[in-house]
Amino acid sequence: MSDHTHVNRTKLFAVIFAILLGLTILSFGVANSSLMDQPVRGWTAMLVISVAKAMLVIVFFMHLKWESNWKFVLTIPAAVMSTLLVLVLIPDIGNRTESYSNDRQKFAAYEVVDVASPDPSDQSNDADTSDESSSSEKEASPSVAAAQSAKSNEKITVDKSYDEVPGEWGHLKGRFIASGEIPVRKEIVPDKDKEACELPMYSRDLVVGSDRGIKNIVVFLTKPSTPLAIHPFYDSEMSQPVLLDNQRCRFEPHITLMTTKQLLRAKNSDEVGHNANITSFNDPNSHNVGIPAGAHVDVRLPIIETRPITVTCTAHSWMKGYIMVRDEPYMAVSSKTGEFEIKYLPAGEWQIQFWHENAGYVKSAVAAGKTITVGRKGLVDVKIKNNEVFDFGQIEIPAADLQSK
Amino acid sequence: MTHQPEDESSPIQSQHDAEAGPNAETGHLQLRYQPGLPISNGKLCVWLFLSTEIMFFSALIGAYIVLRFGAPSGSWPTPIDVHLVEWIGAVNTLVLICSSFTIVMSIEAAKSNNGTAARKWLFATFILGATFLGVKGYEYNSKFHHGIYPAMPRSKMYDKPDLQYLSALQLYCKDELKKIQNDSGSEGDKVKHISDVQQNLVDWTSRVVGKTNATQVQVRALDLLAYQINANPRYKDSAMEYLRIEESETKAEAEKLATQLTDKEAELKTIIDRLDVVVKRLEELAAIEMKDEKETAETTKLETEKTSLGVRRIPIENEIAAMKLRIKAIDGRRAFFENHPLGEPLTESLHLDLPFVLPSGNTWANSYFLLTGFHALHVLIGLIGFLLILPMSLGTERAGLIENFGLYWHFVDLVWIFLFPLLYLF
């Protein structure tokens, strides 16, 4: 290598250069050959060619062949470390595609929607009778759907797997029916974005079904002096965000129930932009988020509310929904048949409240079988016994009390 | 620059001597020059620098591999999707390999103390490096032209055909039409083409998607929209299937509408005929100056009938108008697909540069620009280095300097040897 011992290696370098050119063409050829029918083979072949080319450049062009032993000190650790750096990342690839968690699915670049599966939506034409679970149909996110449908009203079914849970737990159920003349729901005529709206559109403040069941009465446990234990039945539900969708210029669901620990996922399935302006009683921070078409925004409502708070859309004056935020998940909204149930309450004597958006706290009600006394703030005393269902039966409320003022 | 081979044994020897303690003859400590590594400081520094550079590019390439192979299967864009031309990449590889060869020849010439030849070879290296950058610039420019940018806000790419994509298309058509209208020398064909796309493709899809709650229908309608715009084969099956269903549905609907329309028009005609009779009779009655009781009663009766006929007429007329609109929309949609058959991308049609849908497209763009950008930066730095040493006299005394730059240049070539197959061929 020194000046006077210099040997002319021009010929050798020319040969190496020719080999490098050949390898480049070979690599290009592999990419267009049948080897790529099984991509792993083609990729491997190309990487092998690349390594070979790299070695030729390093060994000859970078003169490492003629260097003394110091070359190993620098090049081997660097080669080992860089190979490791790439290799340690490889398991991430496997984990990503093998088991796609629900969270990851949401942020994946491309959701694989199974087009072959039958359409799950039941295309109900009566827009107002859609229950909470329908709001999540547009989203290919099964977790949210599951959390919402856990609230669907059916006969109280007790899961045997919860038998082992320590403590005493009971259930609460009932059904609201309207007495007297039922007012006709007003038609709402949207003043803008008509194409994006459901038409015809009716007010949702008092919805009474054909069987006189009253929809959208909120039943919740008065805040106890000490925090209550939460049954494991609620674990999966409480770990999920609560979905509040904007569908056809309506909030879906009309009344959203959530706990202070959950996230509120305000979603917009419409083609027009919406916003969710949440007017809280107790939370000093204002929450008004804009949601572009097709997007969603997560909101945290960490402060307990004494009654449902409103959520409105500034752009669409008729859009109004309610959100109830409590520390514990012991609350329910009556379904279109007027039925409600709260599962797995801790046993004991509790006060519950009935709330309706027109009437505020429901002050007078007659329960079939039992007479219930409703206090000033809609307070009703209930006694929950272990493994028993406290059934109000039918709770009659005069429709006149629930009319909008 | 380097040491004689016989020097290599001397450090050990000298260390051995030093450990042996004071020299027996003089009583002084015998310290001898310790040369460390048998290479020049400059070369050592270049090698240390290169070993850190290896880490730098390994991290980038590793991240790329995870993104590339971790993407949901089948979603990574193919080179055609993102307008990558493989042979241009191959040409650039050849250019860099040639430049590696020329720099080696330059070092050889310098070592033989042939300064003129060394400068020639070095200049050739510089030209080849500049060619590489030029080709890279051309490639970048074509990416930008297709709306592929490394950052989201400017990018015209969407990861999937969803509602956001649809809103972007709606906005695009609106903006484009406004732009043309503001242009004084507006082209009629262009306006027609864009409003055609707006009405029969974008707005139609948005109506379908807005009307249904069925996810499957929405996904397919959007797939059809995406396929019609950029003919990405990924959406072909879904799009074809959906178009087939839609065509049979709209055909049935159009037939139904046609019969309904005839009925409604007949109904409207009877109303109008009756109205004519009533109006004529009312005029006759109005002409009578002194009316008797019978005539007054008839007038009142006819006035009531006229009002009720008028009330009945308006909704029917509205319905007929709505039906005609719908029939027109269906006809327009059908004509659109006849003029632009499936598989002929609209993005290539004149004046139309709609955003397109590419699963993982933005991830691809980010990693492509990051990897090639850092590499191009290294090339640029190498070129500046060559510019600095070109004016020097390149004899034996500069051979070490050229070799140091050469080492760096070879490393830049090495990185490209890996980047080319990873980015263009995988």
Are B210 and A270 inside 8 Å of each other by CB?
yes
Please judge whether B66 and A93 are an interchain contact, meaning their C-beta atoms are less than 8 angstroms apart.
yes
Q: How far apart are CA A340 and CA A350, in angstroms?
A: 17
Give the pLDDT confidence of A235-254 residue by residue, as tens digits: 888 888 899 998 888 898 99
Highest mean pLDDT among A6-10, A250-254, A286-290, B11-15 belongs to A250-254
Asked if B68 and B76 touch (Cβ cutoff 8 Å), the reply is yes
- Check: CB of residue A107 under 8 Å from CB of residue B363: no
Q: Is the pLDDT of residue A404 over 60?
A: yes
- Inter-chain contact B425–A2, Cβ cutoff 8 Å? no
Q: What is the pLDDT of residue B296?
A: 84
The CA-CA-CA angle for residues B354, B355, B357, to 5°, reads 130
Q: Give pLDDT, residue B298.
A: 85
Q: Give A 295-314 residues with CB within 8 A of chain B.
A: 295
- Cα separations in angstroms, A17 against A10, A26, A205, B131: 10, 14, 82, 19
Amino acid type, B244: R
Model ipTM? Answer: 0.70
With tokens 């909204």, the residue in question is A333
> Chain B within 8 Å of A400 (Cβ-Cβ)?
no
Chain A residue numbers touching B396 (CB-CB < 8 A): 3
Which residues of B fall within a CB distance of 8 Å from A9?
108
Contacting A residues, span 238-257, partner chain B, CB-CB under 8 Å? 248
With an 8 Å Cβ cutoff, are A271 and B163 in contact? yes
Is the minimum CB–CB distance between A125 and chain B shorter than 8 Å?
no
Search chain A and give the residue with CA nearest B52: A78
A121-134 residue pLDDT tens: 333 333 333 333 33
Q: What angle do CA A187, A190, A196 make, to 5 degrees?
A: 115
Give the C-alpha distances (Å, rounded to integers) separating B152 from A61, A292, B74.
Answer: 41, 16, 22
Of B4, B97, B111, Cβ closest to residue A21: B97
Query: Is A110 in contact with B218 (Cβ distance < 8 A)?
Result: no
pLDDT tens per residue, range A103-117: 555 455 443 333 333
**Interface contact A61, partner B, CB < 8 A:** yes
CA atoms of A205 and A184, how far apart (whole Å): 11
| A69-72, long-range: CB < 8 A, 24+ apart | A70/B37, A70/B38, A70/B39
A270 inside 8 A of chain B by CB: yes
Residue A288 at interface with chain B, using a CB cutoff of 8 Å: no
CA distance A307 to A322: 10
Q: Is the pLDDT of residue A97 over 60?
A: no
**Of B58, B4, B106, nearest to B404 (Cα)?**
B106
A13 close to A20: Cβ distance less than 8 angstroms:
no
Which among A62, A82, A110 has the least Cβ separation from residue B54?
Answer: A82
Residues 77-116 of chain A whose Cβ lies under 8 A from any Cβ of chain B: 77-79, 81-83, 85-86, 89-90, 92-93, 96-97, 100, 108-113, 115
Q: How many angstroms separate the CA atoms of A321 and A242, rounded? A: 14
Strand partners, A396: A177, A366
Query: B69 and A93 in contact by Cβ < 8 A?
Result: yes
Interface list for B 20-39 with A (CB within 8 A): 37-39
Task: Over range A57-63, report the average pLDDT.
Answer: 91
DSSP assignment string, A165-214: -SS-EEEEEEEEEEESPPPPPPEE--SS-GGGS-SSEE--SS-B-TT-BB
Helices (H), A232-331: 235-238
Q: How far is B47 from chain A (nearest CA, A)?
A: 7
B418 to chain A, any CB pair closer than 8 A? The answer is: yes
Write the single-letter amino acid at B234.
R
Q: Which of A61, A89, A110 shows the shortest C-beta gap to B159? A: A110
The pLDDT of residue A144 is 33
Instruction: Name the token pair of A383.
Output: 């006694």
pLDDT over 60 (residue A55): yes
CB-based contact A110 B72, cutoff 8 Å: yes
| Contacting residues of A for B62, CB less than 8 Å apart | 85-86, 89
CB contact under 8 A, B426 and A74: no
Between chain A and chain B, how many beta carbons pairs sit less than 8 Å apart? 198
Residue B107 exposed, middle or buried by CB count within 10 Å (0-12, 13-18, 19+): buried
- Chain A contacts in chain B segment 201-230 (CB below 8 A): 206-207, 209-210, 213-220
First-to-final CA distance of chain A = 100
Q: Which residues of B3-13 are buried (b: 16+ CB within 10 A; e: fewer)?
A: beeeeeebbee
Residue with tokens 């932009």: A273
Q: What value does the mean pLDDT of chain A take?
A: 78
- Res B182: pLDDT: 77
CA-closest candidate to residue B375, choices B43, B148, B129: B129
Residue A293: predicted pLDDT? 78
Residue A186 C-alpha, separation from nearest chain B C-alpha, in angstroms: 21
List, as ranges, residues 81-100 from B with C-beta within 8 Å of A: 86-87, 90, 93-94, 97-98, 100
Sign of CA dihedral A41, A45, A48, A50: negative
Nearest-by-CA chain B residue for A31: B425
Supply the pLDDT for residue A117: 33
CB-based contact A109 B160, cutoff 8 Å = yes
- Predicted pLDDT at A157: 65
* CA gap A264, A296 in Å, rounded: 10
**Which residue is closest to A8 within chain B, CA to CA?**
B108
Split at pLDDT 50, 70, 90, the class of A14 is very high
What would the DSSP string read from start to end of B329-386?
A: HHHHHHHHHHHS-TTS-GGGSTT----EE-TTHHHHHHHHHHHHHHHHHHHHHHHHHH
B162 neighbourhood in chain A, CB within 8 Å? 294
Query: Which residues of chain B does A137 touch, with a Cβ-Cβ cutoff of 8 Å?
Result: 213, 215
> Residue A161's pLDDT is what?
73
Q: Which of B163, B217, B407 sits opposite A293 (nearest CB)?
A: B163
Contact B3, B35 (CB under 8 A): yes
Task: Kindly determine whether residue A74 and residue B47, on different chains, have CB atoms separated by under 8 Å.
Answer: yes
Contacts of B100 in chain A (CB under 8 A): 17, 20, 57, 61
Phi, psi of A30 (to 5 degrees): -60, -40
Candidate from A11-15, A43-47, B18-22, B326-330 with smallest mean pLDDT:
B18-22
**Which of B2, B90, B213 lies closest to A137 in CB terms?**
B213
**Contact A211/B at CB under 8 A:** no
Under DSSP, the state recorded for B117 is H
Asked if residue A200 has a cis previous peptide bond (ω within 30° of 0), the answer is yes
Nearest residue in chain B measured CA to CA from A9 = B108
What letter represents residue B353's amino acid?
D
- Please give the residue of chain A at the shortest CA–CA distance from B72: A97
- Among candidate residues B415, B404, B379, B333, the one with its CA nearest the CA of residue B47: B404
Confidence band, pLDDT 50/70/90 cuts, at residue A163: confident
Among A53, A67, A59, A62, CA closest to B50: A62
Tens of pLDDT, residues A183-214: 888 888 887 777 778 778 888 888 888 788 89
Q: Is A12 on the interface with B (CB under 8 A)?
A: no
- pLDDT, residue B7, reads 43
pLDDT mean for each 10 residues of chain B (426 residues) = 43 44 62 72 92 93 88 77 87 94 93 91 96 96 85 74 83 83 71 86 85 79 88 84 90 92 92 90 83 83 86 86 90 89 77 79 90 96 94 88 94 94 87
Q: Closest residue of B to A36, CA-based?
A: B426
Look at residues A325, A352, A342 and name the one whose alpha carbon lies nearest to residue A169: A342
pTM value > 0.95: no
How far off is chain B from A237, nearest CA to CA, in Å? 24
Indicate the residue of B4, B105, B215 with minimum beta-carbon distance to A113: B215
Q: Is A15 on the interface with B (CB under 8 A)?
A: no
Residues of A in contact with B224 (CB under 8 A): none
